[in-house]
Amino acid sequence: MVLERVNSPEDLKGLSLEELQALAEEIRSEIIRVTAQNGGHLASSLGAVELILALHRVFDSPRDRILFDVGHQAYAHKLITGRKDRFHTLRQEGGISGFTKVSESPHDAITAGHASTSLANALGMALARDLKGEDYHVVAVIGDGALTGGMALAALNKIGELQKRMLIVLNDNEMSISENVGALNKYFKELQIRKWVQDAEKLGKQILERISPQLFGLVDRAKEAAKLLLHQENPFYAWGIRYVGPVDGHDLKTLIHILEHLKALEGPTLLHVVTKKGKGYKVAEADPIYWHGPPGFDPKKPEKVSKGYTWSQAFGDAVTELAHLEPRLFVITPAMREGSGLVRYSLEHPERYLDVGICEDVAVTTAAGLALRGMKPIVAIYSTFLQRAYDQVIHDVAIENLPVVFAVDRAGIVGADGATHHGVFDIAYLRTIPNLQIAAPKDALELRAMLKKALELGGPIAIRYPRDNVERAPEGAWPEIPWGKWEVLKEGTEAYILAFGKTLRYALEAAGDDPRVGVVNARFLKPLDREMLRALARYKLLTVEDHQKMGGFGSAVLEALNELGLKPEVRILGLPDRFFEHGPIPGLHRQAGIDAQGIRQALAEMGLVPIHERA
C-alpha cells in the first residue's frame, strides 16, 4: 500500500509514476469507503484525485499555498496532508470538515464551502507575499461551476490587471451540481472540441505527409482557414491571464510535466484541465448529479438511497402546480435545481425556469427585473447562500416593494455541511429590511398556503423552511390561512411557548400534556401577530427558533412587547453567539438548547418544573 507511506505531500516527491498511479487508486477506494458510511461530496472528490496528487507533487505545501474553491473536491488533499487516520470521521460530529478549513490543517489555505472565493483569496495572498518580499507559489483550484460566480469573474479581472504571479487551475468537468450553465461553459466545450481537432489534425498530418506532400499543403491551408473560423478571442487573454490547455486532468505524467513548466512562469497563468466528475466509480461517472453528494450507500452495491419526502420536494410540487394557476410565475435557482426540489418544475415549465449558475446576486436581481416587467418570480435559495445577495434584496427588490418571493430552503442548522452552510442568520439579516415579510410554515399544507398567498399579495416575502423531511400535502390542496396571524395549538394556564418554524415540534413535545404550558405556531415573524401577543402577555412567554438568538424571532417579540408597553416574563431560546460545526442536526439542536430538553429546562427555570418532577 502506497498511502500507508504518505504522511505529508513531501512523501510524494520520491514516488515513481507507477506508485503515484497506484496511490490514486488507493485514495479513490478510501474516498468511496468513507463517503459510503458518512455521506459527502463523492463525485467531485473522485474527479480531482490525479490533479491533487500532481499539484502536491510539484508544489510544496504548506509553504506554497494551494486553495480549493468550495473545498468539496479536496478529500484526496486531506488524505495526503496528514489526515488519513482521521478521514473516517469526515463530516461527523467532532470529526474533520467536509471542506477545507484553515483551523484544521496548515495545508488548508482557506476555509471554504461557499463557491467562488478562491481567486480573490489567492489574489490577496499574492499581494501579501510580494509586499512582504516572501517567495512561495499561490495556486487556486476552481471548478467550472464555481467559475460562474461573480466573485470569481471579478477577481479574474483584477488578477489580470495586477499581474501577480499565481496559478489558477480550472477543473473543468462540465458539471456544477446539475449540468453547468453559462456562456463560458459553452466556450470550454468548444475548446475541448478544438483539442480533439488538434489531436485529429496531428494524426492527419502524419498520414498525409506520407501519402502526398502536395495534398498535405492543400489541407494545411484549409486548416488555417478553419482555425480562423474557430478562432475566438480567448477570454482569459482578454483578462490578461495566460491560458494553457485544455489538458487531461487524469494524466498524471502530463500534469506533472506541465505544472513543473508553469511553476517557473511569472504573472498569472490559468491551466485548463478537463476531468470526469466521479472518475473511477462507474455509478458516479454515469450520474454525477446524484453522486455529487450521496447521503451514504453500500459501496459494493451502490444504489441510490431515498432521502424521504423533503420540504424541498414539497416546495417543488407546490410551485409546479401553482405555475398552472399563475401564468406569471417564474422560478429561479442559483445552481441548486436538485437541492431546491426543482427538477419536476424545470421539466414541466422550462420556459418559466432559470438556473443562473452559482451567482445568487444575479438570481435576486434577475427576479427584480422580471417583477418590474409584470412577472411573479420566486427565488429558490438556501438560507446560507442568500447571504451572497443581501444588497440585492434591499437595493433591487425591497426599496421598490417588488413582488419577489424568496423560498428560503435549508433554514436553520443543516448538519454535516457545518458552519459554512447552517442557515442561521437569515431572520436577522432579513427582518430589518422594510417592506419584506417573513413567514415559516409548520407543514407542507401551510407552505402551499403561504406560497399561493404570497404570489397574490405581492411585495417581497421570505418563506423559510428547514433541511428536513415533511409529510406530503395532497395535490391540489390550497388551504387558506389568515395572513399575519399566529395559531394556538395548545392552551396553557401559566405560560406559552412561541415556536417559529421547525422548533414547533420540540415545543409540542416539551409541553406534552402539561395544562400549564400552551404552544403557539408563531408562523409569521413580519408582520408579527401583535394582537395575539398582547393577549398572551399576561402569561410567561418562551420563544424558540432554529436561528441565532441575536436578532432572531425572539428579538422581534421583545421589540414588539416593548413597543406595546408590555412587560411579561420572557425567555428567548436560539443559537448562542458562536459558530456550530458539522454534526447530526438533533445533536446540534441539543447543544444549542433549542430542542425539547432545552425548552423543558427553560420552563423549569421560569418556575414551570415538569409536573412529574415536582417533589
Ligand X SMILES: CC(=O)[C@@H](O)[C@H](O)COP(=O)(O)O
Ligand Y SMILES: Cc1ncc(C[n+]2csc(CCOP(=O)(O)OP(=O)(O)O)c2C)c(N)n1
List contacts with Mg ion (CB under 5 A): 143-145, 173, 175
If binding is defined by CB under 6 A, does position 293 make contact with ligand X?
Answer: yes
Contacts of 68 (CB under 8 A, 6+ apart): 74, 77, 100, 109, 110, 112, 118, 141
Q: Which of 510, 442, 451, 509 is nearest to 478 (CA)?
A: 451
Between CA 148 and CA 121 the distance in angstroms is 17
What whole-number distance in Å separates Cα of residue 558 and Cα of residue 572?
A: 9
Instruction: Considering the complex, state which of residue 291 and residue 406 has its C-beta at the smaller distance from ligand X.
Output: 291
Choose the one of Mg ion, ligand Y, ligand X, none that binds residue 335, judging by a C-beta under 5 to 8 angstroms depending on kind. Answer: ligand Y
Q: What residues pair up with 497 in beta bridges, in sequence order?
A: 519, 542
Kindly tell me which residue out of 276, 467, 502, 547 binds ligand X, with binding defined by CB under 6 A. 467
Nearer to ligand Y, 414 or 454 (CB): 414
173 is in an annotated binding site: yes
Active site residue 277: yes
Closer residue to ligand X, CB minimum distance, 72 or 279? 72
φ, ψ of residue 268 in degrees (nearest 5): -85, 135
Rounded to a whole number of angstroms, the minimum distance from the CB of residue 272 to ligand X is: 22
Report d(CA 16, CA 14) in Å as an integer: 7
* Candidate list 70, 74, 444, 561; residue touching ligand Y; CB under 6 A: 70
Among candidate residues 50, 321, 338, 360, the one labeled active-site is: 360
> Nearest-CA neighbor of 544 among 597, 491, 585, 582?
597
Say if residue 145 carries a ligand binding annotation: yes
Residue 575, phi then psi, degrees to nearest 5? -75, 135
User: Whole-angstrom Cα distance, residue 5 to residue 296?
Assistant: 28
- Residue 146 marked in a binding site: yes
Closest CA to 148 of 463, 447, 401, 359: 359
In the complex with ligand Y, which residue's Cβ is closer, 47 or 492?
47
- Shortest Å distance, C-beta 558 to Mg ion: 45
Is position 414 an interface residue for ligand X (rule: CB under 6 A)? yes
Q: In what order do the strands lie in the sheet with 524-526?
A: 353-355, 329-333, 376-382, 405-409, 461-464, 437-439, 524-526
**Which listed option, ligand Y, ligand X, Mg ion, none, makes contact with residue 358 (CB within 5 to 8 Å by class)?**
ligand Y
Q: Which is nearer to ligand Y, 176 or 555 (CB)?
A: 176
Q: Which three cell numbers stand for residue 180?
A: 453547468
Residue 566's nearest CA partner among 558, 574, 576 is: 558
SS3 for 513? coil
Contact letters for ligand Y, residues 73-112 (x by CB under 6 A): x---------------------------------------
Per CB under 6 A, 426 contacts ligand X: no
Q: Establish whether 113 is an annotated binding residue.
A: yes
For residue 229 the three cell numbers come to 473560423
- Report 368-397 residues binding ligand Y (CB under 6 A): 385, 388
Residue 573 phi, psi dihedral angles, 5° rounding = -110, 125
- Check binding of 118 to ligand Y (CB under 6 A): no
Segment near ligand Y (CB under 6 A); pick from 68-76, 235-243, 263-271, 392-400: 68-76
Told to check if 143 binds ligand Y by CB under 6 A, we report yes
Note whether 146 binds ligand Y by CB under 6 A. Answer: yes
Residues of span 173-212 touching ligand X by CB under 6 A:
177
388 is annotated as an active-site residue? yes
Q: Is the dihedral of CA 357, 183, 121, 294 positive or negative?
A: positive
Q: Which of 276, 376, 388, 549 is catalytic?
A: 388
CB nearer to ligand Y: pick between 70 and 318: 70
How many other β-carbons are positioned within 10 Å of the β-carbon of residue 485?
13
Give the interface segment with ligand X, choosing from 199-207, 211-219, 409-417, 524-532 (CB under 6 A): 409-417
Partners of 354 in beta bridges = 332
Q: Is 115 flagged in the annotation as binding?
A: yes
Based on the shown chain and the rule CB under 6 A, indicate whether residue 526 belongs to the binding site for ligand Y.
Answer: no
- Nearer to ligand X among residue 177 and residue 255 (C-beta): 177
- Closest separation in Å from C-beta 114 to ligand X: 7
Q: Is the distance from CB of 404 to CB of 377 less than 8 angstroms? A: yes
> Whose CA is closest to 427, among 524, 340, 361?
524
How would you list the strands of the sheet with 242-248, edge to edge?
A: 65-68, 138-143, 166-172, 268-274, 242-248
The residue nearest ligand X at its CB is: 339
Residue 482 neighbours by CB distance under 10 Å? 11
Q: State which of residues 3, 70, 510, 520 lies at the interface with ligand X (CB under 6 A).
A: 70
Minimal distance, residue 116 CB to ligand X, in Å? 11
Assess 56 for contact with ligand X (CB under 6 A): no
71 binds ligand Y (CB under 6 A): no
Least CB distance from residue 295 to ligand X, whole Å? Answer: 8
Query: What grid cell was written down for 239?
Result: 483578462
Q: Are 603 and 510 in contact (CB under 8 A)?
A: yes
* Alpha carbons 379 and 402: distance in angstroms, whole number: 13
Judged on CB neighbours under 10 Å (0-12, 13-18, 19+), 216 is middle
Span near ligand X by CB under 6 A; candidates 322-330, 342-350, 410-418, 509-517: 410-418
Is 335 marked within a binding site? no
Residue listed under C-alpha cell 438533533: 586
Q: Which residues bind ligand X (CB under 6 A)?
A: 41, 70, 72, 177, 293, 339, 410, 414, 417, 467
Q: Catalytic site residues?
A: 277, 360, 388
Q: Which residues bind ligand Y (CB under 6 A)?
A: 44, 47, 70, 72-73, 114-115, 143-146, 171, 173, 175-177, 277, 335, 358, 385, 388
Binding-site residues for thiamine diphosphate sit at 72, 113-115, 145-146, 173, 281, 360
Binding-site residues sit at 72, 113-115, 144-146, 173, 281, 360
Binding-site residues for Mg(2+) sit at 144, 173
